[in-house]
Amino acid sequence: MKDKKLYIGYSNDLKKRIEKHLNKKVRSTTNRLPLELIYYEAYKTETDAKEREKKLKYFGNSYGQLKRRIKASLNA
């Protein structure tokens, strides 16, 4: 993203969700284009995915760990 911030969200159809973002159909990212997928996690249940999203969005230890894990991708 041009503002260098991470977008965190969940979807049951990743390809369709990315397409919506790129076609400016998601209000939260319309002004933050261009976007690039650099990391995703897959979960068996929606409950697990929502729980992980919540942990990441509230910028706790999980968020810091994720940023350290993908540091090289963020700087590329």
Report CA-CA distances (Å) from 39 to 16, 46, 74: 16, 18, 10
Q: Tell me if 6 is assigned to some domain.
A: no
Task: Report the pLDDT value the prediction gives residue 65, as an integer from 0 to 100.
Answer: 92
Q: Tell me if 21 is assigned to some domain.
A: yes
Q: Tell me if 8 is assigned to some domain.
A: no
Task: Report the pLDDT value the prediction gives residue 44, as an integer from 0 to 100.
Answer: 96
Task: Report the pLDDT value the prediction gives residue 1, as an integer from 0 to 100.
Answer: 64
Give the count of domains, the chain.
1
**Which token pair is 16?**
């369709």
Q: Tell me if 33 is assigned to some domain.
A: yes
Positive or negative, the CA dihedral 12, 4, 76, 63 is negative
DSSP 43: -
Q: Tell me if 26 is assigned to some domain.
A: yes
Full pLDDT tens readout for the chain, 76 residues: 667 788 898 999 999 999 999 999 999 888 888 888 999 999 999 999 999 999 999 877 899 899 999 998 888 6
Task: Report the pLDDT value the prediction gives residue 34, as an integer from 0 to 100.
Answer: 87
Q: Tell me if 64 is assigned to some domain.
A: yes
What range defines the domain where residue 60 resides? 14-75
